[in-house]
Amino acid sequence: MVNLTIDGKQVTVSKTATIYEAACEAGVHIPVLCYAKKLMPYGACRVCLVEVEQMKGRLIPACTTPVTEGMVVTSTSDEIVKVRKTVLEFLLVNHVVDCPVCDKGGECDLQDLTYEYEVVSNRFEGEKFDLPTDEVNPLIERNMNRCVLCGKCARVCDEIVGYGSYSFINRGFETKIATAFDRGLNCEFCGQCVSMCPVGAILPRPFKFKARPWQLKEIDSVCGYCGNGCTVTLGTKDNKVETIRFNDKTGVNDGNLCVRGRFGYSFINSEDRLTKPLIRENGSLVETSWDKALARVADGLKQSGSETGIVTGARLTNEELFLLRNVAKALGSENIDHSGGECYKGLTEGLQQTLGLQASTATFPQVENCDAILSIRSDFYETHPVFGMVVNQAVRRNDAKLTVIADKRGKFTKLPEAKTLLHKPGLEVNLINAMCRVLLDEGLAKTERLSGVDELKAALADYAPETVAETTGVSVDAIRTAARELAAAENAAILLAYGLPYTAASKELGIAAANLSLLTGIAGRTGSGLYVCGEKNNSQGAIDLAVMPGATGLGAQQMLSAAAQGQLKALYVVGEDMVSSYPDRKAVELALDKVPFLVVQDLFLSPTAQMADVVLPAASFAEKDGTFTNAERRIQRVRAAVPSPGDARTDFNILSDVLSAFGAQAPATAAEAFAQLTADTAAYQGISLDMLGAQGYVWGTDILTPITRNLVAVAGSKPLDAAHQLLVGSALYHSGTMSTHAKGPMAVVSEPYIEFGREDAKALNVAEGDLVKLSADGEIIEAKAKVDNRLPQGVLFAPYHFSALGLNKIYRGQPAIAVQVGK
């Protein structure tokens, strides 16, 4: 620690702090334009100049100068004010000062500083630029005439996002921020640059001219898309969510968001939302009142009783999931499940058998300090983009060694020095087994306290790196190096995402990853962690609250087959579009067709809802209070920001009504439900709503120690023998099927596509935008082709979000689908 004096105030800070950070600590205000807490010091704007006694009275930038012992800093003097004013005059020489028509007006750093330092005239003359604005893309508008060249956009895109869209081009007065070849922006559209820009040079286009900042009401909530659990601060006006505001003080995401979080809010205000309950009369769905709809639901479910199946998506709040479980109890049914029932088994069965846990063992921020990171599947960035940004920071700032076990290239494989074990589809387990074998063979495994070592050794006989290299197509050295790096690292992380498109071998993959984490000692070690992350915002909450089949209950897949055979009397589907997203659409449709009574509770009239007997309009995450548990076990508060459209009600209210229809006692408020569920859930014992502070509350502390340390042998699979294999997965711009109702993500990826590698495209004579047909098992799907260099030869990819594609007609949960390509 270092002691210094700023404006007469004594302050003690760490020796790595800068003068600016020390001043913040001391409560001394120093103006800044180019500084951002999460970025490296840069010193571009020179607004933060201060005087340091020991430096011969020379003015130095506070944001880039590290503190030294005994420093005496003056933050404000007549000379400093004069110099800052001059700096602002310089900045204003080129700035267009079109504040009245600029959406930043009212929260612009340059405007605030100009006002603070009373810059009313300018002694310097210069040219005003008349650069064309970049309005090519629908999400981010760039007007470089307003730019002050702080470089924050270029830095955040490089340091945090790892995309590198922007750079300074030209020199001297002509310097400006531009994309490659100065073309229109075409990137991930995460909008980090938007959130960083201190002026109005980069603005969110969906928010253009919508409101002034002072008119917006800000409500901190949690994003309703992926399991990352980013804080989104909803800016609302007139009961409408108008924008997402920058907020780096709350939550785990440091103000970082992805395209879905920042631009995917418009489904909340969508015109297509259900506003009235629907009931099937004479074969068609007609609007009805809540009383009638609920009476019908109560009647139907009472009749079916214990032969009711309840399936939910993992998008509900913990409180709602708790009520849903109570509904199942009230019905005497143990048939309750979520997210297709299969994809989460890596966590609930895989990690349970090995580590005795059903959750990730550490928290996201720790990953930034890891020395080695193993990502199983490159899609991890697509499913959890903001966590992916943490990985990028680890790689770029701390030289972490990143290894990606991937069947296709992606964002992760492009990170600096990232090693990609590019394997044939569906062979992840083989590779992990080979890595375990390397650890055991070379004596790198930390086998003390582990049970099942010998069994594992025996089972891994077939997984010598050489053999696995041959089957998977990965080099032996790469497998060995990956294993060695992971074992040698002081802090290491293993990342694995699960979700509906990753149903295949989910349990085996969970076990394999857990084996590796045990052999390397990653599980439970401080600073390291095994992260098994759910695709949906409350996947972890659903597992914590045991929204899973009971001992004699049926899982989602069994419920569907039971329904198809006429053995299930009713199905209650809450917040899930089974027809669009569950594997094997035909089977799902058959089941929903056969089941005598189907209730669907959703935001939209999804293909599943269209088959229902009763459709209940529910509320989005922005309309309800409650809690979500993210993929690192962080329980965070969700707050209602806007009222629900029409007669739509929150799932909480609907479930309460259903419960009372059965004469069961329902908690009156979400807070009451939270108190009940914490008392009821072992891991949540003793947690109260007050404990969920700005950063939420991580149950089981930051590091979750494994309860058991069993190694369990799992068999890998054999490569699929087919000339063309289709992979199913997530696209970065979408999450589940919900984002297909949001304008932002739809503006970037508006329709389903089938992705080809360049070699395949050339061989098959397929060009970007061509309509291609894929046939498998007598079913044909058709979509436009997308060509790029992510995929190895013979491998195709299609995202699962779009119902129209009917991908699940051929996707039945296989790791890869053998397809014939036609036009």
Partner 1 sequence: MSLWRDIKGTLQPFWVTLCNMMRRPVTVQYPEQKQQMAQRYRGRLMLTRDPEGHERCVACHLCSAACPVDCISMQAAEGDDGRRHAAWFRINFTRCIFCGLCTEACPTLAIQVTGEFELAGRDPLKLVWEKDDLLVDHGGHTPDYNFYRQSGVGVAAPRGGLPTETAPVDPKDLMP
User: Which is nearer to partner 1, 133 or 475 (by Cβ)?
Assistant: 133
Q: Which is nearer to partner 1, 100 or 663 (CB)?
A: 100
For residues 204 and 575, which CB has a smaller minimum distance to partner 1 in the complex? 204
| Residue 101 sits in the site that holds partner 1 (CB under 8 A) | yes
Q: Binding of partner 1 at residue 97 (CB under 8 A)? A: yes
What residues between 191 and 210 interact with partner 1 by CB under 8 A?
Answer: 208-210
- Report how far residue 718's alpha carbon sits from residue 623's, in angstroms, rounded to the nearest whole number: 47
Q: Which is nearer to partner 1, 210 or 773 (CB)?
A: 210
Nearest distance from C-beta of residue 276 to partner 1, angstroms = 28
- Give the three-state DSSP class for 309: strand
Contacts 24+ apart (CB under 8 A), 720-724: 720/424, 720/425, 720/426, 720/815, 720/816, 720/818, 721/818, 722/794, 722/816, 722/818, 722/819, 723/794, 724/760, 724/794, 724/795, 724/796, 724/818, 724/819, 724/820, 724/821
User: Could you say which of 60, 99, 476, 689 contacts partner 1 (CB under 8 A)?
Assistant: 99
Positions of E strands within 341-481: 372-376, 401-406, 419-422
Contacts 24+ apart (CB under 8 A), 388-395: 388/412, 389/160, 389/161, 389/162, 389/256, 390/364, 390/365, 391/367, 391/415, 391/495, 392/159, 392/160, 392/161, 392/162, 393/159, 393/160, 393/368, 394/367, 394/368, 394/369, 394/370, 395/162
Contact 251, 231 (CB under 8 A): yes
Smallest gap, in angstroms, from Cβ of residue 117 to partner 1? Answer: 14
Q: How far apart are CA 242 and CA 611, in angstroms?
A: 33
User: How far apart are the C-alpha atoms of 653 and 323, rounded to whole Å?
Assistant: 10
* Least Å from the CB of residue 216 to partner 1: 12
> What backbone phi and psi angles, to 5 degrees, belong to 92?
-85, -5
C-alpha 619/C-alpha 273 separation (Å) is 9
Residues of span 404-433 touching partner 1 by CB under 8 A: none
Nearer to partner 1, 25 or 135 (CB): 135
The C-alpha angle 99, 101, 106, rounded to 5 degrees, equals 50
CA 619, CA 654: separation in Å to the nearest integer?
10
Residue 91 vs 226, nearer CB to partner 1: 91
Number of CB atoms found within 10 A of residue 454's CB: 10
Pick one of 1, 172, 174, 214: the residue that binds partner 1 (CB under 8 A): 214
DSSP state of 134: B
The least distance separating partner 1 from the CB of residue 106, rounded to whole angstroms, comes to 8
When asked if residue 92 is in the footprint of partner 1 (CB under 8 A), the reply is: yes
Nearer to partner 1, 181 or 209 (CB): 209
Site string for partner 1, 311-330 (x = CB under 8 A): --------------------
Residue 168: CB minimum distance to partner 1, A = 22
Q: Work out the number of other CB atoms within 10 angstroms of the CB of residue 295.
A: 15
Contact window for partner 1 (CB under 8 A) among 29-37, 94-102, 251-259, 684-692: 94-102
Least spacing, CB of residue 146 vs partner 1, in Å: 9
Q: Does 486 bind partner 1 (CB under 8 A)?
A: no
Instruction: Tell which one of 183, 212, 397, 586 touches partner 1 (CB under 8 A).
Output: 212
Burial of 120 (0-12, 13-18, 19+ CB in 10 A): exposed
- 515-548 burial, b at 16+ Cβ within 10 Å, e below that, comes to bbbbbbbbbbbebbbbbbbbbbbbbbbbbbbbbb
Q: Report the nearest approach of partner 1 to the CB of residue 100 (Å).
A: 4
What's the closest the beta carbon of residue 121 comes to partner 1, in angstroms? 4
Q: Residue 210 or residue 419: which is nearer to partner 1 going by CB?
A: 210
Complex with partner 1: residue 210 or 446, whichever CB lies closer = 210
Cβ closest to partner 1, residue 106 vs residue 596: 106
Burial class (CB within 10 angstroms; exposed 0-12, middle 13-18, buried 19+) of 796: buried
Instruction: Kindly state the smallest distance separating residue 215's Cβ from partner 1, in Å.
Output: 7
Q: For residue 734, which of 414, 499, 403, 395 has the smallest C-alpha distance?
A: 499
- 754 in Cβ contact with 798 (< 8 Å): yes
Q: Taking the complex as a whole, how short is the minimal distance between the CB of residue 102 and partner 1, in angstroms?
A: 9
Nearer to partner 1, 55 or 211 (CB): 211
Considering only the stretches 89-97, 226-234, 342-350, 416-424, report the one whose residues sit in contact with partner 1 under the rule CB under 8 A. 89-97
**259-298 residues near partner 1, rule: CB under 8 A:** none
54 binds partner 1 (CB under 8 A): no
Does residue 95 touch partner 1 according to CB under 8 A?
Answer: yes
Q: Considering only residues 80, 93, 590, 671, which one is a binding residue for partner 1 as defined by CB under 8 A? A: 93
- Sign of dihedral through CA atoms 318, 319, 320, 323? positive
Helix (H, G, I), strand (E, B) or coil at 422: strand
When asked if residue 789 is in the footprint of partner 1 (CB under 8 A), the reply is no
Binding mask 108-127 for partner 1 (x = CB under 8 A): -------------xxxxxx-
- Segment near partner 1 (CB under 8 A); pick from 99-107, 193-201, 239-247, 634-642: 99-107
Q: Which of 98, 218, 455, 593 binds partner 1 (CB under 8 A)?
A: 98
Among 96, 703, 764, 780, contact with partner 1 (rule: CB under 8 A)? 96
Q: Which residues inside 126-165 make contact with partner 1, applying CB under 8 A?
A: 126, 128, 135, 145
Residue 245 Cβ, how far from partner 1 at the closest point, in Å? 17
Does the footprint of partner 1 cover residue 27 (CB under 8 A)? no
State the nearest-atom distance from the C-beta of 266 to partner 1, in Å: 17
What the block records as the tokens of 31 is 């103006």
Q: How far apart are CA 518 and CA 613, in angstroms?
A: 49
On the CB side of 176, how many CA atoms lie within 13 Å of its CA? Answer: 23
List the Cα angle 381/382/387 in 5-degree steps: 40
- Residue that is written with structure tokens 């690292």 in the block: 489
CB of 242 to partner 1, least distance (A): 12
Give min distance, CB of 199 to partner 1, in A.
13
CA–CA distance, 526 with 371 (Å, rounded to integer): 13
Q: Which pair of tokens denotes residue 502?
A: 């990753």
Q: What is the rounded distance in angstroms from the CA atom of residue 430 to the CA atom of residue 449?
A: 25
Q: Choose one: 8-16, 90-98, 190-198, 440-448; the region binding partner 1 (CB under 8 A).
A: 90-98
Nearer to partner 1, 125 or 690 (CB): 125
Query: Residue 143 corresponds to which tokens in the numbers above?
Result: 């007007």
Task: Tell me how far, at minimum, the Cβ of 123 lies from partner 1, in Å.
Answer: 7
Q: How far apart are CA 351 and CA 361, in angstroms?
A: 10
Count of residues that bind partner 1 according to CB under 8 A = 26
Shortest distance (Å) from residue 642 CB to partner 1: 18
Q: How far is the CB of 208 from partner 1 (least distance, A)?
A: 6
Smaller CB separation from partner 1, 121 or 789: 121
Q: Give the span between the Cα atoms of 677 and 312, in whole angstroms.
A: 18
Nearer to partner 1, 93 or 453 (CB): 93
Q: How far is the CB of 263 from partner 1 (least distance, A)?
A: 18
Quick check: 822 binds partner 1 (CB under 8 A)? no
In terms of CB distance, is 133 or 306 closer to partner 1? 133
| Cα dihedral across residues 324, 329, 331, 334: positive or negative | positive
Question: 3-class SS at 560?
Answer: helix
Residues that bind partner 1 (CB under 8 A): 92-93, 95-101, 105, 121-126, 128, 135, 145, 208-212, 214-215
